[in-house]
Structure 1
Amino acid sequence: MSGAVIATPLTRLVGVRHPIVQTGMGWVAGPRLVSAAAEAGALGILASATMSVERLRAAVREVRSRTDAPFGVNLRADASDASERVRVIVEEGVRVASFALAPSRELIARLKDAGVVVIPSIGARRHAEKVAAWGADAVVVQGGEGGGHTGDVATTVLLPQVVDAVDIPVIAAGGFHDGRGLVAALAYGAAGIAMGTRFLLTSDSPVPDAVKARYLAAGVKDVTLTTKVDGLPHRMLRTEMVDALERSGRTTALLRAVRHAAAFRRESGMSWARMVRDGLAMRHGKELTWGQVLLAANTPMLLRASMVEGRTDIGVMASGQVAGVIEDLPSCAELVERVMTEAHTALGALPAVR
């Protein structure tokens, strides 16, 4: 356990020792990683989008059996069963609900009435202003450097905009992996940092060793931003599958999407009707083909191929640009202690203001 402590509005809000969040990554942020991050003093976030509702409840209970520390659950706000998942969070006494998309005013109110801390992720100042007005307790601000679905505004530009716009704690994401980054985020006015790729690349992460080796071997330029996976900007490692998707025509993409849709339906237990509703929700306001809608609803299967099965030839590997500067696989405890020690060293090295 690190003796270096920096108290911020985030640590006070959620009750963790350190202003660090382990993000909810599908197929990666399960009970093993979340409990290890929580025990290390960070806020571990369980990824629920790739779980059935029943599996989510079991996963929450497994985390609690491993640690007494606070943790959270990440939800897709546009999922047709979001209300059922919220019920699990409330009934199981989960401390934090985080969202990949902005939740509705009603969903925020329901969670807050139950004493759950609500932390949506946003990629634009106006979105932060909206959820803050609706009662969100904090926001995660992800810049374009971040992995998975992301925007095109750099963290260093987006973060200060949001800090200036809202009066709730702001957590910085996108491009963070060490203590220097934490100090930089705090200097911008953030209450902490959120890291995905850095926690994925730990010994506590369930990702197969061969896949971790692919990440460690990657340079900054091996991380690409593509819209060919599901029609939305998605940052990931360049792999055989990404190359194939970018070369494929509409018919091939549609056939591949249908296969993945069927596979995800079997994996998740979802009905075709629910999958179509979720796909339509993701299509709202976006010019996506039906093939892209199917892939948008079933991108988890492409992630599963790599992150669970180790099949990087047929899967995708979501990744922040920081993968290009990460070189080791510490435990969560070692990582958090290192970040906090580096942060204190960086603070001590700053020149005195005269």
Structure 2
Amino acid sequence: MSITELLGIKYPIFQGAMAQIATYELAAAVSNAGGLGIIASGGLSADQLREQIQKCREKTDKPFAVNLMLMMPNCPELVDVVIEEGVQVVTTGAGTPKPFMPKFKEAGIKVIPVIPSVKIALKMQEMGADAVVAEGTEAGGHVGETTTMALVRQVAKAVDIPVVAAGGIADGHGVAAAYALGAVGVQIGTLFLVAEECPVPDSFKEAVLEATDTSTTVTGRRGGAPVRSIKNPMIEKYLELENNNASRDELEALTLGSLRRAVHEGDVQSGSVMAGQICGMLTEIKPVQTMLDELMAEAREVQSALVIG
């Protein structure tokens, strides 16, 4: 069964669950355009998540998902909301969904963890995941160490469940490449940062559009929580402190509220503008529908024109 048949969607394209950005507005736009819109629940209360789900359902009658950051202290409450609201798909990150799998299965919910390694992919398959998203280090936000090309192929060979590729994909060539590696679909985040429907300030979108292939960097490697963002004065200061073995308290003081500053206040100098390495390829703001239609049309052109040898 294809991922589109499994989830009841038109295109094999997931929208990444970008923290504080992947709200119902963006999720509904992606679902209406034929992909799988995903609401990011990280940082939300149970009531806030319920409101997001209900508002999303007002804007679309197509399938959409909720992403659960499993390290969140209120995750059990969020799981209950997802079940009560009849959400049919969840993606997960930052922990194991094992404690909640019986509830999910009983409710008929499809569980798709985001994973950074073959080892974790196999664990997710063993506990009953319906698919996995193999996300390479090219992605924006919290990242692993393995590149998309190396990770997706190895995961696809190792597991029997569908694999969705993520990290560094923003056009039809990337979609076709993911399929060549054994994926059955893609998850895309950075491209949607410059969608008309993406609820971030213009300054945030401009920072992404002005970025080049070398504009991002990863902070937090020393502390074991690597995050990819576009370089700015705050990020440069963080790297300086990190390289000088600054304490965790010093680093947290610098970054406290930095995502909110970028996403809600449009401060791209002292805020955290999380984006992937592919941002250097993005040149204009477009509607989500145009993005998805172009992605799939180009992917099919690439596939039909591909000549090996």
- TM-score normalised per structure 1: 0.82
**Residue 201 of structure 1: how far off its partner (Å):** 1.5
Gaps of 5+ in 2: none
Tell me whether 108-117 or 118-127 shows the greater mean CA deviation.
Answer: 108-117
Match of 1:92 among 85, 88, 95: 85
Give the CA RMSD over aligned residues: 2.0
Match of 1:303 among 259, 270, 281: 259
1:31-42 → structure 2 map (5 Å cutoff):
31-42=24-35
CA distance 1:190–1:310, shift in 2 (3 Å):
same
1:66-145 → structure 2 map (5 Å cutoff):
66-145=59-138
1:178-193 → structure 2 map (5 Å cutoff):
178-193=171-186
Q: Does 1:146 align with 2:102?
A: no
Show CA shifts across 1:290-312 (max 9, x none). xxxxx6xx6xx321110111012
Match of 1:326 among 272, 282, 288: 282
Structure scoring higher RCO (CA < 8 A, sep ≥ 6) equals 1
Match of 2:209 among 216, 225, 228: 216
Match of 2:13 among 7, 15, 20: 20
**Residue 106 of structure 1: how far off its partner (Å):** 2.7
**Residue 175 of structure 1: how far off its partner (Å):** 0.7
1:235-314 → structure 2 map (5 Å cutoff):
235-248=228-241, 254=249, 257=252, 301-314=257-270
Aligned residue type for 1:147: G
1:228–1:245 Cα contact (<8 Å) kept: no
Q: In 1, Cα distance between the equivalents of 2:189 and 2:104?
A: 24
2:203–2:267 Cα contact (<8 Å) kept: no
| SS of structure 2 residue aligned to 1:308 | helix
CA distance 1:253–1:117, shift in 2 (3 Å):
same
Q: In 1, Cα distance between the equivalents of 2:41 and 2:200?
A: 17
Q: In 1, Cα distance between the equivalents of 2:308 and 2:140?
A: 36
Aligned residue type for 2:288: C
Q: In 1, Cα distance between the equivalents of 2:148 and 2:13?
A: 16
Aligned residue type for 2:270: I
| SS of structure 1 residue aligned to 2:120 | helix
1:303–1:316 Cα contact (<8 Å) kept: yes
Show CA shifts across 1:168-192 (max 9, x none). 1100000100111111111211110
**Residue 223 of structure 1: how far off its partner (Å):** 0.8
2:238–2:251 Cα contact (<8 Å) kept: no
Gaps of 5+ in 1: 1-7, 261-294
2:173–2:298 Cα contact (<8 Å) kept: yes
**Residue 105 of structure 1: how far off its partner (Å):** 2.0
Match of 2:40 among 44, 47, 55: 47
